[in-house]
Structure 1
Amino acid sequence: MPMDADPFNLAAYVLAAGAAHPDKPALSLVGGDKPEHWTFGDLIQAVRGTATGLLQRGLTPGDLVLMRLGNTPDFPLAYLGAIAAGLVPVPTAAVLTEAEVARIIDTLRPRFILRDPDVACPPAANVLSLDGLRAMRDLPAAAWHMGDPERLGYVIYTSGTSGKPTAVMHAHRAIRARRMMFDGWYGLRPDDRVMHAGAFNWTYTLGTGLLDPWTVGATALIPEPGTAPANLPAIMAAEQATIFAAAPGVYRQMLAAPGTIEVPTLRHGLSAGEKMSAALRDRWQDATDTPVFEAFGMSECSTFISGSPDAPADGDAVGRAQPGRRVAILGPEGPVADGTHGTIAIHRSDPGLMLGYWGAPDQTADRFQGDWFLTGDQGVRDAAGQITYLGRNDDMMNAGGFRVSPLEVEAALASMPGIEAIGVTEVEVKADVRVIAAFYAAPAPLDDDALRGYARTKLARYKQPRLYIHLPKLPTGANGKLLRRALRAAFEAENHG
């Protein structure tokens, strides 16, 4: 998608549609004892007032601003306020420890830190308190800082293929690429009421739950922090949500709750963050009579493969490349034929693709094969353009010389009666001997022979787990994503001392 070089600002772009309807609801914090509501007029004033306050503190366009804020509306307001002023926000997860934040500060040397006192942060100079940040909202509105859409707009952190957090630089123009999701994934309309189950300070929530609805002038709904998944359907119904977004684990927990799910205004759900199994997707469809559309993406390029209301995914496929995206499945010599496994890649011309990794040009270069950015994820595309996700390179397992995706095994076993959640990984049982192990959550241990018999009906022999391990619950990250590495590490620590 060609991008012009007219002066541009990401925050101004996001809020332009809302400026035409200042009294329309933009954001509601719902489901708690003290609901909070913001109109677009309120939102724009707070963002531009924050921009003024940050500039009055002596910051200049291009300065990095580290965000150590909690799961509150302060997070998106500060994020857009910094961008409105031409500053470069660095949103970070509130659950990071002080030591982890210290490493970020040492790497980026931010000019300013926005800090909630309840969020971990090492002592540092140039820290703005939450009260000081909130006081800026009523200041006179700053002018939008306009400039080259290719200039640095924000920095986010990713775990990366090595598991080491890496700073990813994005340009202002990345927000324009998100329009490809509006029809290619969301089916988003100005009259929608989009409810996202994630925290304000999760990039999935920030993009899908807030910035994208605001870009079309739609209303964003965010549940009160700490809302139990079992309560989300009732909130959706009460707030007349039309689109719901969450990670697969949230859908699983809603379905596990007693009672029926009544969501009369919901058109469909959205899922991202990790692979949703076809079985879980079908269970949600049966329970609510609404589909779930899944998307694949990453911190370096957001989402670019998805199903949508106009082009649903088939079977276990994630979906197709969104209209306007150039996506390929690559082997060592370049794009491979349909039906051949390879690495999912996106063309370097994609407007949503990162500028690079902070201070790591070699690492950035290593992610490219010619004009293709290598995601590090495995997939296969069929003749109809549907892409099936097979897992990360470092998640792929080896069974007798065959590469096996844990997702395939998990999907096959997830429908076993009695299993509530399942995670599959390779574990070392003795030196140089590794086997496939299935860790499952269930109210009580299931019979191993029954599990093996079920697997035999679903999977080729080399794909069948050799170990079945019962756990009260599976380890997940702050946003509900399964931590396969934690399963492996815990098993090996227990069995190898």
Structure 2
Amino acid sequence: MSQVHNMVDYDKTYAEFKWNVPEYFNFSGDVLDKWAQDPNKLALWWVDDDGNEVKKTFAELCQRSRQLCNVLSEQGVKKGDVVIVIMPRLIEWWEVNIACLRMGAVISPGTTQLTPKDLKYRFDSAEAVCIITDNDNAPKVDAVRADCPTLKSFILVGDKKEGWTNYEEVVSAASDQFETVNTRSDDNAILYFTSGTTGYPKMTVHTQASYGIGHYVTGKFWLDLREDDLHWNLSDTGWAKAAWSSLFGPWNCGAALFVHHTPRFDVKKTLTNLEKYPVTTLCGPPTAYRMFVLEDLSKYNFKTLRHVVAAGEPLNPEIIDYWEKHTGLKIRDGYGQTETCCLAGTFPCLEVRAGSMGKPTPGFVVEVIDENGNILPSGQEGDIAVKVKPERPVGLFKEYWKNPEKTASTYRGDWYCTGDRAIKDEDGYLWFVGRSDDVILASGYRIGPFEVESALLEHPAVAESAVVSSPDEMRGEVVKAFIILAPGYQGSDELVKELQDYVKKVTAPYKYPRKIEFVDSLPKTISGKIRRIELREREWAGKK
């Protein structure tokens, strides 16, 4: 499919781009309601594993969101209140997002893999007043709700259940007249919990503008979307990537979303859907592409697909080549964080340099700096940083909520530091080196080692543990635990399995260590802190 891309001359677009942020902005009112003026404009094409298909227009979703706004208001949810939503890829997830943005409530999405303990931590930290979830996750909420004093509204998508308001029942009965709240551009709108290397997850706050306007560049330039596209993003609804690529990016451009509701990623089913439905653009984690290329791609014909992107971790050159050989399409990388929009990418008009994350996104000055905030010459490794003075770009988070010290620690002079390391080459391409802290990125999930170590330490066999990333063919990197056993325990395959299962129970299943090595000692600093970097370097020696 030949057509003109949204960006044809990188340097020109980059030089001329200007952010335009009005004082008042509401994504639902200013963007979605505009698309909804055409009653037939498709917003969502939803399918599941049982052959069910539902299509929703912008007009329908906007109407449902107004009904939900009235329900939430009746339940006591006010502007600025936090609503936590834990849901798989159900249509209601989008309705909830649109409604919260519309009424100025702060939406906090979470993955369905969270445990009751994780949920309690989120309810309390965010002072959440409302939880909206489905049948599978309601029992987890019930396990802790008596100890969560701020929660007053419990809404269930699915069955009728004692102590829960049934979503369908109340939304269908509610009035669809609701005046969109006149939110300021800098009003809080979204709250993510992000894993760090120490302590519990931090609360990352975005405003109406930072994601609502910020992701305009993600949708237009990186995803290269226009009004007639059908965009498929493989991300779980619990992660910021869903906001990037399943909501703000595409809908800023008026593109429709293709959604496959399934309990687990199935390679063959995904490829079959890609062939069966008129999907034009695809966004997936590198793990998905690594699995795609193990299949016989010559069996498939993706006739409508014109553009594919990957994000979450660097993609191996051989995968890019194999995919292109069989589909004729290059996989274009993009880079950003929960705290940001798309900061850099291999935009359609740029040459793909396998392994590079591309060039800075229009609207952002992205450089590699040293510890004093000086821009480093090309070829030198340093910290990836975004210029925030004299002008702060849209698309950066507002703060780590209730944690001013942590927020302050991300700034160095005129720069916001991403916590990632890179090298910039002579042509301005960025090459990812690694994280300056110890966060592990496995299959697109951010995992803080501290959380896994803490879980392991609760098991009687574990005296001490250190968790780092370890190279893995399929997933890029996986979680590996080095464990010193408590007296009386012997290392064995059975114990490895027991510890893995234990971590899955205590914390979210995706965090469990896929590799475990029993050791007699761990490298430490003089003050007794484990030197994870030493273990990590040992793991990766000869791999990079």
TM-score normalised by L of structure 2: 0.73
Residue aligning to 1:37:
55
In the comparison of the two structures, how many residue pairs are matched?
A: 433
Residue aligning to 2:9:
none
Structure 1: distance between partners of 2:427 and 2:132: 48
- More displaced, 353-362 or 222-231? 222-231
Residue aligning to 1:268:
307
Residue aligning to 2:328:
289
One-letter amino acid of the counterpart of residue 269, structure 1: V
Residue aligning to 2:292:
254
- More displaced, 104-113 or 91-100? 104-113
Shift of 1:494: 10
Work out which of the residue numbers 13, 24, 29 in structure 2 matches 1:7. 24
Tell me the secondary structure at the aligned position of residue 373 of structure 1.
strand
Work out which of the residue numbers 371, 394, 401 in structure 2 matches 1:351. 394
Structure 2: distance between partners of 1:70 and 1:380: 37
- More displaced, 8-17 or 163-172? 8-17
Shift of 1:426: 9.1
Deviations 1:375-398 (A, max 9, x none): 11110111211001111123599x
Tell me the secondary structure at the aligned position of residue 195 of structure 1.
strand
Work out which of the residue numbers 226, 234, 238 in structure 2 matches 1:201. 238
Residue aligning to 1:402:
none
Shift of 1:17: 4.0
For residues 213-362 of structure 1, the aligned pairs below 5 Å read 213-226=250-263, 228-258=266-296, 260=298, 261-334=300-373, 335-348=375-388, 349-362=392-405
One-letter amino acid of the counterpart of residue 390, structure 1: V
Deviations 1:297-348 (A, max 9, x none): 1111132111111124323211000111111111112221121110101123
- Tell me: CA distance 1:153–1:330, structure 2 relative to 1, closer, same or farther (3 Å): same
Work out which of the residue numbers 130, 133, 136 in structure 1 matches 2:167. 133
- More displaced, 226-235 or 130-139? 130-139
Work out which of the residue numbers 135, 141, 145 in structure 2 matches 1:123. 145
- Tell me: CA distance 1:224–1:104, structure 2 relative to 1, closer, same or farther (3 Å): closer
Shift of 1:10: 2.3
One-letter amino acid of the counterpart of residue 71, structure 2: G
- 1:117–1:129 CA contact under 8 A, matched in 2: no
Gap runs ≥5 in structure 2: 1-17, 158-165, 441-467, 485-502, 523-544
Work out which of the residue numbers 83, 92, 107 in structure 2 matches 1:89. 107
- 2:109–2:191 CA contact under 8 A, matched in 1: yes
Tell me the secondary structure at the aligned position of residue 55 of structure 2.
strand
Residue aligning to 2:181:
145
Structure 1: distance between partners of 2:19 and 2:352: 28
- 1:196–1:223 CA contact under 8 A, matched in 2: no
Percent sequence identity is: 22
Tell me the secondary structure at the aligned position of residue 326 of structure 2.
helix
Gap runs ≥5 in structure 1: 398-405, 431-475
Structure 2: distance between partners of 1:193 and 1:146: 30
Deviations 1:77-124 (A, max 9, x none): 112201101111111111100001111122121122223231132225
Tell me the secondary structure at the aligned position of residue 149 of structure 1.
coil
- 2:314–2:356 CA contact under 8 A, matched in 1: no
- Tell me: CA distance 1:127–1:492, structure 2 relative to 1, closer, same or farther (3 Å): farther
Shift of 1:423: 3.6
- Tell me: CA distance 1:115–1:305, structure 2 relative to 1, closer, same or farther (3 Å): same
- 1:199–1:225 CA contact under 8 A, matched in 2: no
Shift of 1:199: 2.8
Tell me the secondary structure at the aligned position of residue 230 of structure 1.
helix
Q: Does 1:28 align with 2:69?
A: no
- Tell me: CA distance 1:150–1:268, structure 2 relative to 1, closer, same or farther (3 Å): same
Structure 1: distance between partners of 2:36 and 2:112: 30
- Tell me: CA distance 1:84–1:365, structure 2 relative to 1, closer, same or farther (3 Å): same
Shift of 1:68: 2.7
- 2:88–2:261 CA contact under 8 A, matched in 1: no
Deviations 1:7-60 (A, max 9, x none): 211222341442232212210112531112111111111112111211122222
- Tell me: CA distance 1:228–1:315, structure 2 relative to 1, closer, same or farther (3 Å): closer
TM-score normalised by L of structure 1: 0.80
Residue aligning to 2:443:
none
Residue aligning to 1:491:
517
Q: Does 1:385 align with 2:428?
A: yes
- Tell me: CA distance 1:43–1:429, structure 2 relative to 1, closer, same or farther (3 Å): closer
One-letter amino acid of the counterpart of residue 128, structure 2: P
Structure 1: distance between partners of 2:483 and 2:189: 47
> What is the RMSD of the two structures over their aligned residues, measured on CA atoms?
3.1
Structure 1: distance between partners of 2:372 and 2:424: 17
Residue aligning to 2:493:
none
Structure 1: distance between partners of 2:324 and 2:376: 34
Tell me the secondary structure at the aligned position of residue 334 of structure 2.
strand
One-letter amino acid of the counterpart of residue 181, structure 1: T
For residues 410-425 of structure 1, the aligned pairs below 5 Å read 420=474, 423=477
Tell me the secondary structure at the aligned position of residue 96 of structure 1.
coil
Structure 1: distance between partners of 2:475 and 2:102: 43
Work out which of the residue numbers 403, 406, 415 in structure 2 matches 1:363. 406
- 1:423–1:484 CA contact under 8 A, matched in 2: no
- Tell me: CA distance 1:48–1:359, structure 2 relative to 1, closer, same or farther (3 Å): same
- Tell me: CA distance 1:252–1:346, structure 2 relative to 1, closer, same or farther (3 Å): same
Q: Does 1:19 align with 2:62?
A: no
- Tell me: CA distance 1:289–1:31, structure 2 relative to 1, closer, same or farther (3 Å): farther
Structure 2: distance between partners of 1:35 and 1:484: 33
- 2:283–2:309 CA contact under 8 A, matched in 1: yes
One-letter amino acid of the counterpart of residue 342, structure 2: T
- Tell me: CA distance 1:185–1:15, structure 2 relative to 1, closer, same or farther (3 Å): same
Shift of 1:209: 2.2
Tell me the secondary structure at the aligned position of residue 384 of structure 2.
strand
